[in-house]
Amino acid sequence: MRRILIGALVATGLAASAANAEDIAVKLQDYPGIGNTLFRIAAAKGFCHDHGIKCELQMIPSGPLGVQALLAKSIDVAFAPPEVAINAAIKGSAVKMVISGAQQNVFEIVARDGLNIPDGGKDYKAMMNALKGKKIGVPARGSGAELQFQLLAEQAGLKPSDFTFVAVGSPNTSFGALKSSQIDVSMTFEPSGSICDVLKACKTVYRGAYAPEPKDIAATNGASAVLIVNQAMLDKSPKVVDALIAAGKDAENFIQKPENFPEALKIAKAYFQFKMPKGDEVMEASLKYAIPSYKVAISRSALKQIAANMLATKQISAPFDPIKILYDKAP
């Protein structure tokens, strides 16, 4: 009987090893901070494995750099604003948006200590006029953050040339640039706002997820940051893309349950930790703020508004239908 039991256990172990060996590795873009939370959870909780894939996350600090890595085939999935995917498609790249990684507008404006800037959530025009002539930090030149700041400027009756844009990278490096006064404000994403709130070393003056104006930006909520793949991947491995969507849905179901927050926070810290005073508090505050955004559905109307905004601000020269670069099975 003991030999039979041992044999059964060995057979079970071999079967498990074979199943693991069959998982298809998929490299996804991640960001410093709370990053690509849905797929950190999907990887850590085994949701990717459940659907036959192995999710491997790679830190790349901006959307344009992520899409460049995608096109260079050093990653399989970029995580970027739709604006970046649209620009890539217009330039001839065969890309498709497959799932949302963050529905709500991820961008926020934080101002350095000592700079008196009006609350943009109450009066974005007053905020933008106060910023005229200032140095604006962005993750990378041409990034979604810069493009959205330019739209805010246009809506307030200003021009992009009224500002000086400086590439400062992800939130941890942009905070250093802000603190040393290399820039006046940063058009950035979480956890920048949480860093300001927890450390009281800067001030959050605009959160795109909740600002009611301008309406053209508010209407983009629902398609803020998406996962992007090459058409070649869809042609060759559609089941892998479908597995990504399924794993993302599992992760959404997990993170949207309040009782799972402590475990979600633990997973987030396993991928990234802030080496700063009160770093754990910053991570916790940032994750709490962002959780409502972690849903996989992509709003079609929000995508169309994003493309319309790009045309209005002359980021693209002709109307573009973003639905044609949306995977037909995208939620």
Give pLDDT tens digits for 84-137.
999 999 999 999 999 999 999 989 999 999 899 999 999 999 999 999 999 999
Whether 8 shows a pLDDT value over 70: the answer reads no
Specify if 189 maps to a domain. yes
HEC states along 97-127? EEEEEECCCCEEEEEECCCCCCCCCCCHHHH
Q: What does the pLDDT read at residue 143?
A: 80
Cis amide leading into 214 (omega within 30): yes
Instruction: Report the alpha-carbon distance of residue 187 to residue 132 in Å, rounded.
Output: 14
pLDDT digits (tens, 9 = 90+) for 65-78: 999 999 999 999 99
Residue span of the structural domain in which 275 resides: 2-104+222-325
Beta bridge partners of 138: 167
Specify if 330 maps to a domain. no
CA angle 148, 180, 61 (to 5 degrees): 45
The stretch 272-300 carries a mean pLDDT of 91
Number of domains in the chain: 2
226, 141: one domain: no
* CATH number of residue 164's parent domain: 3.40.190.10
Instruction: Report the alpha-carbon distance of residue 168 to residue 176 in Å, rounded.
Output: 9
Specify if 331 maps to a domain. no
* The last residue of a domain, from among 173, 191, 218: 218
Write the CB contacts of 114 (distance below 8 Å, at least 6 apart in sequence). none
pLDDT band at 21 (very low <50, low <70, confident <90, very high): low
* The last residue of a domain, from among 165, 191, 218: 218
pLDDT digits (tens, 9 = 90+) for 152-175: 999 999 999 999 999 998 887 899
Instruction: Report the alpha-carbon distance of residue 131 to residue 15 in Å, rounded.
Output: 61
pLDDT band at 327 (very low <50, low <70, confident <90, very high): very high
Whether 276 shows a pLDDT value over 90: the answer reads no
Whether 2 shows a pLDDT value over 60: the answer reads no
Cis amide leading into 322 (omega within 30): no
Question: In 3D, which of 199, 66, 246, 216 has the Cα closest to residue 148?
Answer: 216
81, 112: one domain: no
Specify if 295 maps to a domain. yes
Q: What does the pLDDT read at residue 7?
A: 46
Q: What does the pLDDT read at residue 12?
A: 41
Would you say 71 and 93 are in contact if contact means Cβ atoms under 8 Å apart?
Answer: yes
pTM of the full predicted structure? Answer: 0.83
Specify if 179 maps to a domain. yes
